Amino acid sequence: MRLLVADKMNLSALEELRILGIEVIYRPELTRDTLAAALDGISILVVRSTEVTGAALSTAKHLNLIVRAGAGVNTIDVAAASARGIYVANCPGKNAIAVAELAMGLILALDRKVVDATTDLRAGRWEKSKYSSGGGLFGRRLGIAGLGAVGRELLDRARAFGLTPHAWSRSLTPTRAAKMDVGFSKTLEELAAKSDILSIHLPLTAHTRGVVSRRVLEALPDGAILVNTSRFEVLDYVALAELVPRKNLRVGLDVLPGEPDEGKGTIDPSLFEQGLVYGTPHIGASTEQAQLAIALETARIVRSFLTEEDVPNVVNIAAASPARFAVVIRMMDKVGVLANCLAVLKRHNINVEEVSNTVFEGALATCTKLRVSGRPSDACVKEIQAFDEVLHVDVIGLPNLA
């Protein structure tokens, strides 16, 4: 079985997969446009930022599993993968500390204008009075948009700096916020209005695209610090470019429109000329520690896929299958018995949605649970029961969880 790593990655943790008969192919130079041609004969694909399009997936006949060696899965056409029965898994939380550290670094750098001061020093200019006006962080209000893995790591670090945290997040309630000792905001606009510093940690989804809108940016106090280390698409960069000088915003960005698909390239620098705007080239996850944690998690996912029933961190399994009934069949552990039962269900036009099979000690008998779409008729059940090797058949109605 062949595993393709289509991004720069720490490979040490993947070495052990060779014991399981996996051939690891390392092609960090692959891009969105060259990936499709490289997928021939590949069963497992590991990517960081390389985009996986529906078009690439349509030619990937052997592909069973895509591992996003990171948090966000927005770079993968998950719907296209689901339509072809391909697992998509990610590594949630494994790079969260690294991103929170960068967010904190950008906040500190913006408050003290560290980048500008360094630029002056590099040019031999000593400008002590120019850089002696940092506001200080202690007691300032920090707004966290998206209180997931990164947001929570930032929260821990923010407390150490004496910041007062507030948050807005999908499943955050006033009770939960109170338990976490975090101020609660009902809307993102409300959070922005009470943020001396606003840090964005939302995933890119249909609901969050453009959510940090002009209105939200307008709601920020003048002179506020805004940090985005999540995805550029969640933030209105056009409005931001206008509002930075007007509201004296101080901005730290790790994610930008037009990020090159490869490790090296060019970008429109105009936003960085609007005022105090600092940036990094999407390196939030790029610490040695985080990349090792990501590689270990990737190896764990692949190992589970190969040797266990459940695959960890899969993001595209149906929350509830269309199954409405379970057919529980105890049978002898012999060749063809299950196939015979399935043939009967097929003849009665019953679609099998999920299957599990348990073998008992001694390997004489098994219990097979088939989750099916329609109720099998009495005639169908009788036919299954009639096989000599079938010990018992039950039909159970399932709760409608859809």
Ligand X SMILES: O=C(O)CC[C@@H](O)C(=O)O
Residues in touch with ligand NAD (CB under 6 A): 70-72, 92-93, 95-96, 99, 146-151, 169-171, 201-205, 207-208, 229-231, 254-255, 282, 284-285
The entry of ligand X, ligand NAD, none that residue 209 binds, CB within 5 to 8 Å by partner kind: none
Q: How far apart are CA 299 and CA 41, in angstroms?
A: 20
CA–CA distances in Å: residue 72 to residues 94, 101, 150, 169 = 11, 18, 12, 16
288 is catalytic: no
Q: Which residue, 74, 71, 66, 67, is CA-closest to 95?
A: 71
Q: How far is the CB of 171 from ligand NAD (least distance, A)?
A: 5
Question: Residue 151 or residue 252: which is nearer to ligand NAD going by CB?
Answer: 151
Catalytic entry in 152, 201, 231, 371? 231
Query: Which residues are near ligand X by CB under 6 A?
Result: 48-49, 70-72, 95, 282, 285-286
Question: Least separation, in Å, of the C-beta of 95 and ligand NAD?
Answer: 5
Q: Taking the complex as a whole, how short is the minimal distance between the CB of residue 98 and ligand X, in angstroms?
A: 9
Residue 202 binds which entry of ligand NAD, ligand X, none, CB below 5-8 Å type-dependent = ligand NAD
Give whichever of 142 and 285 is closer to ligand X, judged by the CB atom.
Answer: 285
- In angstroms, give the least distance from the CB of 95 to ligand X: 5
At its nearest, how many Å lie between ligand X and the CB of residue 70? Answer: 3
One-letter amino acid identity for 85?
G
| Tokens representing residue 312 in the block | 């960890």
Please say whether the beta carbons of 148 and 171 come within 8 A. Answer: no
Q: Which two tokens stand for residue 23?
A: 């051939």
97 C-beta neighbours (distance < 10 Å), count? 19
Cα 76 from Cα 70, distance rounded (Å): 12
Report what 48 binds from ligand X, ligand NAD, none; CB cut-off 5-8 Å by kind: ligand X
Which among 141, 250, 282, 371 is annotated as catalytic?
Answer: 282
Given ligand NAD, ligand X, none, residue 96, with its beta carbon under 5 to 8 Å by kind, binds ligand NAD
Reduced to 3 states (helix: H, G, I; strand: E, B; else coil), residue 260 is coil
Q: Which does 368 bind (CB under 5 to 8 A by kind): ligand X, ligand NAD, none?
A: none
Q: Enumerate residues 6+ apart whose C-beta is below 8 A from 376.
A: 325, 327, 345, 348, 350, 384, 395
Identify the active-site residue in 51, 233, 259, 389.
Answer: 259
Q: Which of 238, 230, 172 is nearest to 205 (CA)?
A: 230
Q: What residue 35 binds from ligand X, ligand NAD, none (CB within 5 to 8 A, per partner kind)?
A: none
| Residue (of 29, 77, 89) closest to 53 by Cα position | 77
Minimal CB distance to ligand X: which residue? 70
Type of residue at 37? A
Nearer to ligand X, 43 or 298 (CB): 298
Is residue 259 part of the annotated active site? The answer reads yes
- Eight-state DSSP code of residue 391: E
Question: Closest Cα partner for 349 from 377, 310, 323, 383?
Answer: 377
Residue 167 Cβ vs ligand NAD, minimum distance, rounded to whole Å = 9
Residue 201 binds: one of ligand X, ligand NAD, none (C-beta under 5 to 8 A by kind): ligand NAD
* Angle, vertex CA 259, rays to CA 256 and CA 261, nearest 5: 155
SS3 94: coil
Q: Which is nearest to 356 in space by CA: 336, 337, 389, 328?
A: 328
How many residues are recorded in the chain? 402
Which residue is closest to ligand NAD by CB?
A: 148
Max Cα distance, the chain (Å): 93
| Residue closer to ligand NAD, measured from CB, 231 or 371 | 231
Nearer to ligand X, 35 or 285 (CB): 285
63 versus 89: smaller Cβ distance to ligand NAD: 89
**Cβ at position 234, least distance to ligand X in Å:** 12
Nearer to ligand NAD, 117 or 315 (CB): 315
List the catalytic residues.
Answer: 231, 259, 282
